[in-house]
Amino acid sequence: MPLQVSDYSWQQTESAVFLSVPLRGVSVRDADVFCAENYLKVNFAPFLFEVFLYAPIDDESSQAKIGNDTIVFTLRKKEAVMWEALSVSGVDKEMMQRIREKSILKAQERAKEAIEAKAATRREDQKYALNVMMKIEDEERKKIEQIKENERIKATRELEAWKKQQRKAEEQKRTQREDKLHQQEKQIEEGKKLKHKSFPRNSTTRNLATKGRNSENIFSEKLKEDSIPAPRSTGSIQVNFTPRVFPTALRESRVAEEEEWLHKQAEARRTMNTDIPELSDLKEEEKNPEWLKDKGNKLFATENYLAAINAYNLAIRLNNKIPLLYLNRAACHLKLKNLHKAIEDSSKAYRIMKLHLRLIHPTKLYKMMLRRFGI
């Protein structure tokens, strides 16, 4: 329960009330002041000062000064009259509670209105600033457009002046060409006049010259006819192509890979001719080591490692020169924790690959290693 402060002092005039409340050694930062039209409260724990005013005051123009362990209030009256007392007499608890709640609600509404007014003012300021920025941008854009227009006009004028100079230069060249043509025509006419004057003598020399030329042409044609060879006799040429198993041309084929495939097929055919009991129940297409390898890969993917090992075993019996079969079987043994067998198969695959390393293309070897780890 807070302690009520009763040792306060107050004075009044017709327009204001001066109230002094001691803080009793409490820090100024711990004092909480609330003022309304008919209610005034100062809370500084553990003390409380509360007064229900005799008449309404103007709380917006009222002031409070804190200093020297004292709060001095200057309360402005709404009506210029003298009060009989500072607080209203005969106020019960219910009325006090109503006055408190009413004062708090009114203060909250006023604070809400102040916040809304502040937000509206901020919005107006932002709108004004936006309009100013838009105007500044419009002015800058107009300046830029004006500069562009001036540059365009300047460029068009320079272009027109250059075109005019080009036209003048072309006219000068044309006039020079016309003058040259005119001079050449004059020279030709003068030459024709000189030729007409010396026509009889020149005509006789021309006839002799033409006769000599005609005789020379006749002898040259006879020589050309004698030098043309006779047509060749017809015949046939036989072309033999290298026999090939594959239909592709030799320049488009891969000889090393084709020979390796043919070698594998021959090995498989030779092996299938032997008596293997497991081959009696298989179809012809299932007797291919590649088919058995793919079957083992599918069984490995489903984690059926024992069946995959059986498929790889049969494929190895058909063709024991494929290192990938040993690598895949080693992967199965590794999954089953058969480490010795995994090492043995890996060593066999390494020996086979070492023998054929010079015959295998590096890219193919890389793919084989990828398939060994990915199955």
316 in a structural domain: yes
- pLDDT in the model for residue 326: 92
**pLDDT beyond 80 at 231:** no
**pLDDT beyond 80 at 366:** no
201 in a structural domain: no
The residue type at 339: L
Q: In this structure, are 72 and 95 located in the same domain? A: no
All residues at 6 or more sequence positions from 256 whose CB lies less than 8 Å from its CB, including other chains: 359, 361
The pTM (predicted TM-score) of the whole model is 0.35
Q: In this structure, are 18 and 62 located in the same domain? A: yes
Final residue before a domain boundary, out of 185, 201, 234: 185
Final residue before a domain boundary, out of 150, 185, 220: 185
- pLDDT in the model for residue 222: 52
CA nearest 322: which of 295, 356, 297, 294? 356
> Cα(84)–Cα(144) distance, rounded to whole angstroms?
76
- pLDDT in the model for residue 147: 93
How does pLDDT run across 5-47, given as a tens digit for each residue?
Answer: 778 888 888 889 888 888 777 676 777 888 888 888 888 777 8
What is the spatial order of strands in the sheet that 3-4 belongs to? 3-4, 47-52, 39-44, 32-35
**Average pLDDT, integer, range 125-152:** 91
Contact 78, 58 (CB under 8 A): yes
Q: In this structure, are 318 and 357 located in the same domain? A: yes
Q: In this structure, are 81 and 104 located in the same domain? A: no
Contact 44, 23 (CB under 8 A): yes
Final residue before a domain boundary, out of 20, 53, 87: 87
**Average pLDDT, integer, range 330-347:** 90
Pseudo-torsion of CA 210, 213, 218, 224, nearest 10°? -150
**pLDDT beyond 90 at 144:** yes
**Neighbour count for residue 72 (Cβ, 10 Å):** 15
Q: In this structure, are 361 and 319 located in the same domain? A: yes
Pseudo-torsion of CA 196, 199, 200, 203, nearest 10°? -150
- pLDDT in the model for residue 274: 54
196 in a structural domain: no
Q: In this structure, are 52 and 10 located in the same domain? A: yes
- pLDDT in the model for residue 85: 85
271 in a structural domain: no
Q: What percent of the chain has pLDDT over 90?
A: 17
- pLDDT in the model for residue 329: 92
Q: In this structure, are 101 and 33 located in the same domain? A: no
195 in a structural domain: no
- pLDDT in the model for residue 353: 79
Q: In this structure, are 103 and 155 located in the same domain? A: yes
- pLDDT in the model for residue 331: 92
**pLDDT beyond 70 at 242:** no
**Average pLDDT, integer, range 235-258:** 68
Q: What would you measure as the largest C-alpha separation in the chain, in angstroms?
A: 163
CATH number at residue 305: 1.25.40.10
Q: Domain count for the chain, please give it.
A: 3
How does pLDDT run across 146-169, given as a tens digit for each residue?
Answer: 999 999 999 999 999 999 999 999
11 in a structural domain: yes
**pLDDT beyond 70 at 208:** no
How does pLDDT run across 54-84, given as a tens digit for each residue?
Answer: 888 888 888 888 877 788 888 888 888 888 8
101 in a structural domain: yes
Q: What percent of the chain has pLDDT over 70?
A: 74
Note down the domain range covering 81: 3-87
> Cα(91)–Cα(102) distance, rounded to whole angstroms?
15
Q: In this structure, are 98 and 82 located in the same domain? A: no
**Average pLDDT, integer, range 114-124:** 91
- pLDDT in the model for residue 202: 47
267 in a structural domain: no
Q: In this structure, are 122 and 76 located in the same domain? A: no
